[in-house]
Structure formats: structure tokens, C-alpha cells
Structure 1
Amino acid sequence: MTEGVYHTSSNLWIGSGATRRKSISKRYWYASPRADGDFEVQLLTSNLTPVGDKRIVERDEFEQEYVFEPNLLALESHRLDAGSGQHDSQQQDDQTAALLARIPTHKASKTGLRLEEEEAIEKFDQGMTMLRSGYSKQGRRILQGVPEKEVTWQPKHKHLFNDFGRKLRKQQEPEIALKHYLKASELSPNDDHLCYNIARVYYDLRKMADCKRWLHRALLENPQLEPAQKFLQAIKNR
């Protein structure tokens, strides 16, 4: 196996029931073999510029998970000094434009909401990668922008933003998770489970009045929702 650009893939399920389908998200890496047989990999941005820290991947894992991209070249990551910053920045922009023109795309046949959906997934995946790689500020900015984009989403897309919110809450990013959950609630305002999820995020944020309000809203939609009943009772007993 040779040095160069590789990709890994992950699956994201969208929708539920008969409309449930799988979407594949890719991450790109620059990899180089080590003397001990393992590989050193570094994450690449959407412009194929190295970002974050390098890490070591054992050979067996690398051979199973990483797929070589012989037609892609990573851009060099370099610092810009005050004197040559503008020139180097323009040069890198030109390099990026030339490189992107060579990258094969699978989005040409997708239009409308399908394209917006794929782009939302790609942006979310990029933001989470930045967050986990230590680029918290950049990652949070990307993740906050996903639900803010002006798109005429349909009710079925509530599953998309509900899934994003769940992953962000698990990542201990309650404020950003809330933005995604609220977007999902806009698309399906009578969803009792969404109301319950929003209440839990408000609890994480220590906003008890809002937490209770959304629990009551969940129980208004479904008086038999047991998790909401127990949660509300636990709060009252404190």
C-alpha cells in the first residue's frame, strides 16, 4: 500500500419505516506507511487540505477501512506570513479550484431537496469531524449552520435533524443539539418524542422552566408517554 489520499465510509440512516434509507458519508485522509508496517493518517478538509493531528492506524484496520484514491492529491498545508499572505492565499485558492475540478462527484444527478439533504449530511459529518479533531470553534460554527440554512424542508426530514440532535447531545454539545431538535420540531410540531428530547436538552442546560414546558407539551400530545411522566415527576420531587 502506498502513500497518498484514502477515504473511509460511514452509514447514516434517514427516515423511518418504508421510507427509511441509507446514506453513505465519506471522510478523506492523507496516509503514509511507517517502518513498523502501520500507517500514519491525517484528516483532510473538503478542499483536501490536511487538518488536525496525525494518528497511527494499525495495518489490519487500515487495510479493512481505508480505500485508496489514486486520482486525488492533497494540498500542502502551510503557514502564511504577513508579507506573502495574500499571494499565498490566492495561490492556494487557485490550487484548490484546479483540484476540485478533477474530483469526481456523485451529486450531479441529484436536485432539489435530495441535494440539500446530502449537503446537510456532509456538512454535519464535516463539523463533527472538526469537533473531534480538536478544532472546536470551526466545528461548532459548521454544525450551527446546518439547521440555519434556508431550505424548504418537508416533515419527513424531522428524522434527519432528530438524529443530528441525538448525536450532538451524546457529544455533549447541548446548545447545538437544541438547534437541531427545534428544527425537527418545526417540521413535526406534534411529535411527542421530539418534545421529550427537547425537554432533556433544556435539562442539560439547567433551564428547568423550559424543560417542564416541553415535558407538558409532550404529555399534551401523548398523555401515556411514560418517560415524560417519570421525568416530570422526578423534577417535581426534587
Structure 2
Amino acid sequence: MPQASAATDGEQTSVQLPAMEDCRILGVYSMVRQTQIGQGTTSRGHDQKTYWFVRRSPEGEYFVQALNANSIPSGPVAPVTRGEFLAAYQPQSGYYEKRCLPFIESLKKKIAQADRLLAEGDLDAAEKEFIKALLLDEKHPKANIALGNISLQKGDGKKLAAALRRIFDIDVLFTEQERHLFNEFAISLRKEQKFAEAVAFYEKALARNDTDENLHFNIARAKAEAGDPAGAMGHLERALALRPDFAHAQRFLSGLRAGEPDRDDALPLPDITASIDHIP
């Protein structure tokens, strides 16, 4: 199940998220917070109103996501208790249908068009459509990763560097919910021998979830190919501590210890992009 971070007494805690498609859309709600402007005798209160896209899970849990400047739900999804929701959030009748949906539908069309162009191999046209999508939602996970992949395929180091800077600023990309996106991009980076970038991706993901044996396996591959077998072995040992029957990690670790990480008489190591239970 996907995870999110929620603040509790100033600390970040991991919170389980349901599948968002299973949640009921409640619409847009506003929240008003008072902030102080100025100092001393000139200080005065100011009401700050923010807008939130709200869903409710089948179990009755509430989840909120901020709207960006284009009224599109963007960024991390956060849980709130029923008491917090009822006390702090006010419904905005018709806001979702009138102001959010037109932009959301436009964004979906741009992403779909970009995907079609990408499937046809037209990288330049696909790139333009993904850029249009980012004008609507600059934090859109798929559009940002796709632009990074396009820059990687085109060998455009300048655009790749810019894409990486954007991606690393989007924390929601490194959640379990978007794991397949950053994982596949990191694999592409490794295959193109961008080892430092691939390792950085996995390290950021592991900072959010250190108990994913597959992430430890994948960063081990990047470290080994970068010439850091000791670092790779450390992550493989961690993966096996989490899952002792992880056969691919066992074989990889044995090969590294023997100085033969990828023997010709063994099956090639897989790139793990999903749960190990679903690897064919």
C-alpha cells in the first residue's frame, strides 16, 4: 500500500495511503489560517485561505491534497483525522466542477498526447507536450520523469541536468505511490552509466523507506557497476536481512564476494521494478 508522510509533533511519520482510485471524491474544501504580518505594535492578523482537494477512503479516512495555481491537485497527499477535517475544512460548492475539472481534463489530454507521440518515437513532439503539461502542473510526476528520460535518450546533458534538478525537488516522486516512475528512470540512468545520478535517486527513496529490499537491490547494482563493490554488498546484506529468501540478492552477493558479480554461466540479474513476488 502506498505511503505518505504526516507531521506529528514536529516529526515525520509514515502513513499508509489507500489506492486513490478507490476513494470517493468529496470535492474542494477551503481552510483558513491566521498569520501575523509585521512586528511589535504594527503587527496585525491576516487570514490566509488555501484550497484542498479532498478524498475519503472506503474505511472513512480523509485525505487532502493542495490545489496549485491552476486549481489542479498537486504535490503530496496527506491524511487528516475526521475531527480535523470537520473542524478546519469548509466545502466550496461547485468549485471542483467549475474550476478544477477543466484544467484536470486539459492536463490529462496533454499527457495522453505526449504518451502517444512517445510510443511513436517522436521525442521532440512528445517533449513539447510534456512541457505544456508542466505549465499546468509543474510537479506532475510522470511528466517530469518522462522529460528526464527523453533528455537521456537524446543525449542532451544540459536538459537532463535541468530535469534532474526539478525531479529531486519533488518529494512526492519518491513515495511508494510513484515508485515505478523513479525506479524505471533510475534504471535507465544506470544503463546509460549515469551511476552517481542513479545512486542519488535510490538514496533519496531509501531515506523515505529503508525497508524496501528491492530498492536496496537496485542501488547495489548501480554501486557495483560504478566500481563500489563494498557499498553494493552492504545494500545486498540489508536486502537479505529484510528478506532472507531473496534469491537474486543471494546470488548477486555471492558473486561480488567471489569477485565474479555477473558470471557467464548464470542468468542475468533482473531490474526489479515491482514487488519481488511479481517478478516472472
- Tell me the TM-score normalised to structure 2 length: 0.43
Pair 1:43-2:124 in alignment: yes
| Cα displacement (A) at 1:24 | 4.1
Give the stretch that moved more between structures: 190-199 or 153-162: 153-162
For 1:80-91, list aligned pairs within 5 A: none
Give the structure 2 partner of residue 195 of structure 1: 216
Q: Is the 8 A contact 1:130 1:139 kept in 2?
A: yes
| Cα displacement (A) at 1:130 | 2.4
Secondary structure class of the residue paired with 1:232: helix
Secondary structure class of the residue paired with 2:114: strand
Pair 1:207-2:228 in alignment: yes
| Cα displacement (A) at 1:229 | 0.9
Count how many residue pairs are aligned between Structure 1 and Structure 2: 151
Q: Is the 8 A contact 1:28 1:43 kept in 2?
A: no
Which amino acid in structure 1 is aligned with residue 234 of structure 2? Answer: R
Distance verdict in 2 for CA 1:42–1:149, change over 3 Å? closer
Distance verdict in 2 for CA 1:152–1:229, change over 3 Å? closer
| Cα displacement (A) at 1:47 | 6.6
| Cα displacement (A) at 1:214 | 0.5
Distance verdict in 2 for CA 1:106–1:143, change over 3 Å? closer
Distance verdict in 2 for CA 1:200–1:154, change over 3 Å? closer
For 1:61-210, list aligned pairs within 5 A: 116=139, 119-151=140-172, 154-210=175-231
Q: Distance in 1 between matches of 2:134 and 2:123?
A: 24
Q: Distance in 2 between matches of 1:42 and 1:226?
A: 38
Residue 256 (structure 2) aligned to one of 224, 235, 238? 235
Q: Distance in 1 between matches of 2:246 and 2:201?
A: 22
Q: Is the 8 A contact 2:175 2:205 kept in 1?
A: no
Give the stretch that moved more between structures: 201-210 or 131-140: 131-140
Distance verdict in 2 for CA 1:151–1:231, change over 3 Å? closer
Which amino acid in structure 2 is aligned with residue 171 of structure 1? Answer: E
- Tell me the TM-score normalised to structure 1 length: 0.50
Give the structure 1 partner of residue 62 of structure 2: none
| Cα displacement (A) at 1:149 | 3.4
| Cα displacement (A) at 1:152 | 8.7
Gaps of 5+ in 1: 1-13, 30-40, 49-99
Give the structure 1 partner of residue 242 of structure 2: 221
Q: Deviations over 1:70-121 (max 9, x none)?
A: xxxxxxxxxxxxxxxxxxxxxxxxxxxxxx9xx7x6996x8xxxx73xx232
Give the structure 2 partner of residue 26 of structure 1: 114
Q: Is the 8 A contact 1:192 1:221 kept in 2?
A: yes
Identity %: 24
| Cα displacement (A) at 1:224 | 1.0
Taking CA–CA contacts closer than 8 Å with sequence separation of 6 or more, which of the two structures ends up with the larger relative contact order? 1
Which amino acid in structure 1 is aligned with residue 114 of structure 2? Answer: K
Give the structure 2 partner of residue 5 of structure 1: none
Gaps of 5+ in 2: 4-17, 22-107, 260-280
Give the structure 1 partner of residue 94 of structure 2: none
Q: Distance in 2 between matches of 1:27 and 1:159?
A: 16
